[in-house]
Amino acid sequence: MTTDNTTHFAPELHIPNGTFNVDFYIKFGATEHFRFLNDDGSIHVVELEINGAIFHLHETMRDALEPISAKGVTAVIGLFVPNLDEVMQKAVQAGAIEISPAQDYDYGYRQGMFKDPFGHHWQIQKKI
């Protein structure tokens, strides 16, 4: 887990109000730190971590958009990992849709992209 004395990003991915299940992320390999629920049992916020990279799933509020209602990508989550092909495979097995397969690029990166069940695009990458 990232310590408080380091600078790091912690993206907040918005999910539709009334969401009860975010099991995709656990199947993908995330560890859940905490979860706050609304009175109806739906998710208000969940903190997750993938090998030290913390992110949050949060119900849509204020002027925030989530990809399904926005009918498009609201951000691309870039995740650097040492085992890119394994991570891509695990994501697809957990229910993601592959957008572009992992491949090497002339600019020195190996990258692949998938869309998670809530419409968020993840670019999995590694410097080569």
Write out 58-120 in H/E/C secondary structure.
EECCCCCCCHHHHCCCCCEEEEECCCHHHHHHHHHHHCCEEEEEEEECCCCEEEEEEECCCCC
Quick check: is 4 in a domain?
no
Percent of the chain with pLDDT over 90: 80
pLDDT digit string, tens, across residues 38-80: 999 999 999 999 999 999 999 998 788 888 888 888 889 999 9
Quick check: is 35 in a domain?
yes
Structure tokens at 64: 């925030």
Note whether 10 and 115 are within 8 A (CB).
no
Residues constituting the chain: 128
Residue 64's domain comprises 12-127
Contacts of 70 (CB under 8 A, 6+ apart): none
Quick check: is 89 in a domain?
yes
What CATH number is associated with residue 34?
3.10.180.10
Report CA Rg, the chain. 15
Structure tokens at 1: 């887990």
Quick check: is 41 in a domain?
yes
Say whether pLDDT at 1 is over 80. no
The predicted model gives 112-120 an average pLDDT of 96
Q: Pairing relation of β-strands 76-80 and 121-127?
A: parallel
Query: Which pTM does this prediction carry?
Result: 0.87
Q: How many domains does the chain have?
A: 1
Quick check: is 79 in a domain?
yes
Quick check: is 7 in a domain?
no
Quick check: is 5 in a domain?
no
Distance CA 54, CA 10 (A): 5
Quick check: is 1 in a domain?
no
